[in-house]
């Protein structure tokens, strides 16, 4: 199913149709769509164990590699009159929980830092044409142990979110992909570090929480 902007947006713009497109666009407030790319609940798995001294790793997720396919429809802008389109976008994602696995010390709590975040979007089947939005959020997240067994530990993560897209030169290309060409795919990658050297040698698997895209600068 296509993601459709709220009907209230159309109601807001109809009285302004006599004006030019730029005037109408300026009257449209930012529009936020929840879970536009089927990311809620997705898992990001580390590509290597946490390393001593750096105590960091990279994690990633790719909808084109999920079964069943995690591809998603274009954003439906058909309710916006006069061919008005957004020219700015911010994609937000949050981390809900993390599982630690391997031969390492698993503390009752520790702090994770989201050092970098990158989100790429592409028309399905054309990954080479992807647009990548990236940021260095430097977000600190407290992880609190909630369970686990031998060699594993599950942790809840304090409320958090990070975003990409603000001021990114690749936003126009990403918006073109998200609004034309049919089915799309998305990948999420991040660099994560921890404040506890005892975690070195373990792998991390994160579960994403809420995600959204906010469209703005309509004209």
Domain ranges of the chain: 3-218
- Tokens representing 56 are 């960091």
Q: Which residue has the tokens 């730029």?
A: 22
Give the C-alpha separation, 106 to 61, whole Å. 24
Q: Please give the model's pTM, rounded to 2 decimal places.
A: 0.85
Quote the pLDDT of residue 72.
92
C-alpha 162/C-alpha 153 separation (Å) is: 24
Model pLDDT for residues 85-111, shown as the tens digit of each residue: 899 999 999 999 999 999 998 999 999
Percentage above 90 pLDDT, the chain: 61
The answer to whether residue 115 scores a pLDDT higher than 70 is yes
Read off φ and ψ for residue 13, nearest 5 degrees: -85, -25
Q: Mean per-residue pLDDT for 49-72?
A: 80
Q: 2 pLDDT band (50/70/90 cuts)?
A: low
Q: How confident is the model at residue 7 (pLDDT cuts 50, 70, 90)?
A: very low
Mean pLDDT of 18-45: 79
pLDDT digits (tens, 9 = 90+) for 159-171: 999 999 999 999 9
Cα within 13 Å of Cα(172), Cβ side: 1
The mean pLDDT value for 120-126 works out to: 96
- Angstrom distance (rounded) from CA 151 to CA 93: 28
Q: How far is CA 168 from CA 41, 152, 164, 185, in A?
A: 26, 38, 8, 19
First to last CA, the chain: 26
What pLDDT, on the 0 to 100 scale, is given for residue 23? 62
Region 211-219 average pLDDT: 92
pLDDT for the residue numbered 8: 45
Name which of 69, 60, 11, 83 is nearest 37 in CA terms: 69
pLDDT bin (cut points 50, 70, 90) of residue 17 is: very low
């Amino acid at each position: 199913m296509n993601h459709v902007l709220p009907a209230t947006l159309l109601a807001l713009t109809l009285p302004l149709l006599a004006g030019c497109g730029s005037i109408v666009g300026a009257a449209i407030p930012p529009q936020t769509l929840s879970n536009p790319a089927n990311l809620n609940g997705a898992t990001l798995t580390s590509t290597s164990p946490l390393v001593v001294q750096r105590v960091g790793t990279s994690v990633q997720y790719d909808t084109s590699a999920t079964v069943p396919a995690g591809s998603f429809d274009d954003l439906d802008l058909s309710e916006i009159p006069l061919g008005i389109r957004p020219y700015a976008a911010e994609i937000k994602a949050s981390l809900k929980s993390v599982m630690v696995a391997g031969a390492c010390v698993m503390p009752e709590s520790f702090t994770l830092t989201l050092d970098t975040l990158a989100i790429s979007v592409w028309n399905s089947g054309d990954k080479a044409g992807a647009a990548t939005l990236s940021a260095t959020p430097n977000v600190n997240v407290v992880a609190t142990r909630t369970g686990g067994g031998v060699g594993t530990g599950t942790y809840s993560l304090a409320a958090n979110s990070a975003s990409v897209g603000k001021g990114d030169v690749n936003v126009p290309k990403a918006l073109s992909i998200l609004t034309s060409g049919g089915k799309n795919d998305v990948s999420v990658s991040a660099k994560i570090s921890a404040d506890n050297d005892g975690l070195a040698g373990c792998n991390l698997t994160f579960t994403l929480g809420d995600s959204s895209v906010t469209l703005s600068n309509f004209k």
